[in-house]
Structure 1
């Protein structure tokens, strides 16, 4: 699988099918090995003699001075290794090398080696260096999955790349209490596709017995009332060590005004992602992350990797339950047993139970009796109607249970308006089950709590709950027509994350056409959110269409099918036509047609005149698609500029005309364009255009424009000033598509 944004070629990255992207630099020979994870091939670097051996990329790659670049690779060997960026002048003369730390130990398991650094002021190009130092000749070291490019970081992380990954240095962190901090490079096995982890980590070392902690130097801006989620991989010194991560909030003066802690229930001394969430207080302006050990021994070390702060995710779009009460990653999330013998707590240890994250809510009853479990009160979203849907994942891990599932409603003053419930039923006895119910709220309800009456059917019964959601029950699919943009928006709700989705546009004649999504046509695309809003700019004009959605488990299984109502885009003035960029709909423009093309269909033929025969022998190829000149007018300077912008890309376009005009919707490429004046004064804005069209196939892999998941917050994290932004991007369009200079 090609790493996104990699400057290296796929062959150089994966070492498949050969080693042509690599060459020996020092004391080694290279050969193709097998057993890789990103493709089977691996780069085998064999020492000629004792001492350091180095391999490098054959090619060098352009860089922009001052810009931070990131390299990583997965390695396996009998000695420790390091990776570097070799900075070169325009003449390919070496300036310097930015080296990673040497891994703290050798490992034959695949592990990540990584470093990042800013290109020197006189650097024009760079290469990747791979290095290890065996004590003898004929020692093999293996490399694969190599990346060179801009830093790969967690999308939406409020913290900068270096604070998250420490691949440049440790300046994103500072010791807080009884500790020192440093960078280390332990050999840790990560997934081959875990691109934002690996390499260097922060080590927090207790200087004396007692509590020890470190905190981020960065203080990213937050919005009061918004819930945030902080997380990091923690590696405790012992399984019994009391380690934790905190999300802290600060006011405008830097005074801490809120804190929430998530303690790790470690099952060992490996790497475990611990999460903590909290709502930013009303006076909060910034936030930070801290981590530490309680009751540490002198010299004990807590290690951290991939520290992030993001806006807290939701399990269901529109849910009113905050992350803390939905996922139980730091505690019971405010859920409590209001009557009966049962007890409630977060599961332990890390990773034993959980659907979202690594913990679950655990309800335990020592006796076969009834208990009432109730969540905190959640404010209902105003103005969305009275229909609500609840969903809770459940798993019985000991004994058995029956449950009366319900919602208790409250008014603005917190007075109970009664309980809506369903009949008692057995909780499914094995595996995780999704228990869903629909409810009608009282007209004056403004708050609600999930309330279950649980009855243990035997002593020592244990029930796990996770991913609790409560959201307005809106239509599962809905269509909105935007006549001004000649587009249809298809909204899909309550999609199963991780499943595969295929979306067709269906015509009245039964024809089915795949609809375009962010990464190309939606043909068995992976569902990453339970809510999808698909903007279809390629729907025909003036023709009734509907949509068919097919959803299937990634591992295979029965297909879920959804269908929509039929809608029609207003075709508008029949003398006007649309020219659209399938992958960049912001370029779409409407033009006035002067004259439709007179079509030709070229064909390659060879004619042979046979002596003595009247008729020639003609050998023909396949006749080509339509070709012809479309004559149009632009009536304003804005239309003219928009048409230039559309044509600038040189990409395949979609030409759409109103029904009855004698042409069908057609994908076309546009040749050399002629723009002429129509006479009159110089200020006359009308222009006449001749667009040479060649019929083309529908683009398959082109996704709808923009950079998925990237927001203005990411720009605030990556760029200190607007001048830095101007230095990185030539145009606003380059900013939109994250196309940096160089």
Structure 2
């Protein structure tokens, strides 16, 4: 065997990581692998618990991109592992190839390289997402996926308020609603949206108001909950969701707001008229088992405000509603062991529920844990509205 310019396996495998300079894409990193010893697949452990696969060509070179999903300013160590051919699997093979021990170093750099099957290399990745950023990802869940929203707001001390709004362009504006409000206690934020419309593109918009009066608006990439079928009913307080069979929704009634005044010696009355109310109606659900019945009641009776979601091609509209009277009837009353039920629910439709109308997430125990005396609260929370928007978790 004749020694080469460098002992095996020099030059060593190398990994380069370059983050995007585009402001809207700073979390995207391009990995470049060089000095691979053979064509094949290399795996880059990105340092955040995930990995990306890169195809190496005949020269042992390849590139791949990865978007870090953890918002904020972080430093990761990425490590690539690539295959390489084993030179000497046994001592006998080494002896046959190299006559003298004294010259082994001219052929192989270290003893570990004689039977090396893989190489590794590392690189530091600095992810700088700027003053603030927002990510949205579809998270598998039962019976329907939800959307995980992660945000990061820098310079927390300069923030007076922030909000996250759900925007559904295909919804015609009816489903655009602020879903979360925050105050100066900001930084890393992670929330779940269990009410996103199904089969429709959704964008989340982060609006930040700082003490100097500047307002920053950052939008997530468009995201879609796809592949669902049927109807789903969600309790807007607990986010508990069940798949339902909507047997009937025959009528929607929009009541008129008007007063009719009769006038003496005049055949036509005076009518004082205002806008019609949002419709009310009756939903009829079919349940076939005891478990389905109990799950349905668990949602209907929990918070009194529910969300009925359907698919975009359905003739049933996605609707928020207040739960009224509930009437349960047995589908087969003559059968004592039959659990089939028709559950009639009187509902008053309501507008999508904004964050300001949600149940207050601050309890008196949390207030007591942060302020020992009543007179200490106004310095941090001048109004009840400020207190309602306070997030004890940061």
**Offset of 1:548 from its aligned partner?**
1.8
Residue deviations 1:165-213, cap 9 Å, x none? xxxxxxxxxxxxxxxxxxxxxxxxxxxxxxxxxxxxxxxxxxxxxxxxx
**Offset of 1:702 from its aligned partner?**
4.6
Distance in 2, matches of 1:578 and 1:496, equals 40
Distance in 1, matches of 2:265 and 2:284, equals 48
The reply to whether residue 504 of structure 1 matches residue 155 of structure 2 is no
**Offset of 1:550 from its aligned partner?**
2.1
Residue deviations 1:93-123, cap 9 Å, x none? xxxxxxxxxxxxxxxxxxxxxxxxxxxxxxx
Residue deviations 1:131-171, cap 9 Å, x none? xxxxxxxxxxxxxxxxxxxxxxxxxxxxxxxxxxxxxxxxx
Partner secondary structure for residue 292 of structure 2:
helix
Distance in 2, matches of 1:630 and 1:605, equals 27
Residue deviations 1:505-527, cap 9 Å, x none? 2223574723423xxxx2xx225
Say if 1:481 and 1:569, in contact at 8 Å, map to a contact too.
Answer: no
Going from structure 1 to structure 2, the CA distance change for 1:552 and 1:626 (only over 3 Å counts) comes to same
Distance in 1, matches of 2:247 and 2:51, equals 51
The reply to whether residue 556 of structure 1 matches residue 212 of structure 2 is yes
**Offset of 1:585 from its aligned partner?**
0.4
The reply to whether residue 514 of structure 1 matches residue 177 of structure 2 is yes
**Offset of 1:653 from its aligned partner?**
1.7
Say if 2:79 and 2:123, in contact at 8 Å, map to a contact too.
Answer: no
Distance in 2, matches of 1:437 and 1:626, equals 50
Residue deviations 1:248-290, cap 9 Å, x none? xxxxxxxxxxxxxxxxxxxxxxxxxxxxxxxxxxxxxxxxxxx
Match of 2:149 in 1: 490
Unaligned runs of 5+ in 1: 1-379, 387-435, 449-469, 715-742
Say if 2:288 and 2:340, in contact at 8 Å, map to a contact too.
Answer: yes
1:446-485 maps to which residues of 2 (within 5 A)?
A: 477-482=135-140, 484-485=143-144
1:200-599 maps to which residues of 2 (within 5 A)?
A: 383-384=49-50, 443=80, 444=120, 477-482=135-140, 484-493=143-152, 495-498=154-157, 499=159, 500-509=161-170, 511=173, 513-517=176-180, 522=181, 525-526=182-183, 528=185, 530-553=187-210, 555-570=211-226, 572-573=228-229, 576-586=230-240, 588-599=241-252
From 611, 616, 630, the equivalent of 2:283 is 630
Residue deviations 1:552-577, cap 9 Å, x none? 32x1343333222222223633xx32
Residue deviations 1:59-95, cap 9 Å, x none? xxxxxxxxxxxxxxxxxxxxxxxxxxxxxxxxxxxxx
Residue deviations 1:428-483, cap 9 Å, x none? xxxxxxxx7978756557899xxxxxxxxxxxxxxxxxxxxx98779852422446
**Offset of 1:620 from its aligned partner?**
2.9
**Offset of 1:688 from its aligned partner?**
0.6
Structure 1 or 2: more helix by fraction:
2
Distance in 2, matches of 1:629 and 1:691, equals 5
**Offset of 1:637 from its aligned partner?**
1.7
The reply to whether residue 605 of structure 1 matches residue 258 of structure 2 is yes
Q: Which has the higher contact order (CA 8 A, sep 6+)?
A: 2
Match of 2:299 in 1: 646
Match of 2:320 in 1: 667
From 325, 336, 346, the equivalent of 1:682 is 336
Say if 2:256 and 2:275, in contact at 8 Å, map to a contact too.
Answer: yes
Going from structure 1 to structure 2, the CA distance change for 1:682 and 1:505 (only over 3 Å counts) comes to same
Going from structure 1 to structure 2, the CA distance change for 1:437 and 1:626 (only over 3 Å counts) comes to closer
Distance in 1, matches of 2:261 and 2:48, equals 80
Partner secondary structure for residue 640 of structure 1:
helix
Match of 2:90 in 1: none
Partner secondary structure for residue 585 of structure 1:
coil
Going from structure 1 to structure 2, the CA distance change for 1:381 and 1:565 (only over 3 Å counts) comes to closer
Say if 1:506 and 1:548, in contact at 8 Å, map to a contact too.
Answer: yes
RMSD: 3.8
1:37-186 maps to which residues of 2 (within 5 A)?
A: none
Going from structure 1 to structure 2, the CA distance change for 1:515 and 1:682 (only over 3 Å counts) comes to farther
Distance in 2, matches of 1:625 and 1:382, equals 48
Say if 1:481 and 1:568, in contact at 8 Å, map to a contact too.
Answer: no
Partner secondary structure for residue 480 of structure 1:
strand
Distance in 1, matches of 2:336 and 2:191, equals 44
Unaligned runs of 5+ in 2: 1-45, 53-72, 81-119, 370-394
Match of 2:346 in 1: 692
Partner secondary structure for residue 603 of structure 1:
coil
Going from structure 1 to structure 2, the CA distance change for 1:556 and 1:589 (only over 3 Å counts) comes to farther
**Offset of 1:638 from its aligned partner?**
1.8
Going from structure 1 to structure 2, the CA distance change for 1:471 and 1:685 (only over 3 Å counts) comes to farther
Going from structure 1 to structure 2, the CA distance change for 1:597 and 1:437 (only over 3 Å counts) comes to closer
**Offset of 1:600 from its aligned partner?**
1.0
**Offset of 1:602 from its aligned partner?**
1.5
Distance in 2, matches of 1:706 and 1:617, equals 48
Say if 2:144 and 2:228, in contact at 8 Å, map to a contact too.
Answer: no
Partner secondary structure for residue 673 of structure 1:
strand
Distance in 2, matches of 1:472 and 1:506, equals 27
Partner secondary structure for residue 670 of structure 1:
strand
Match of 2:382 in 1: none
Partner secondary structure for residue 276 of structure 2:
coil
**Offset of 1:485 from its aligned partner?**
2.7
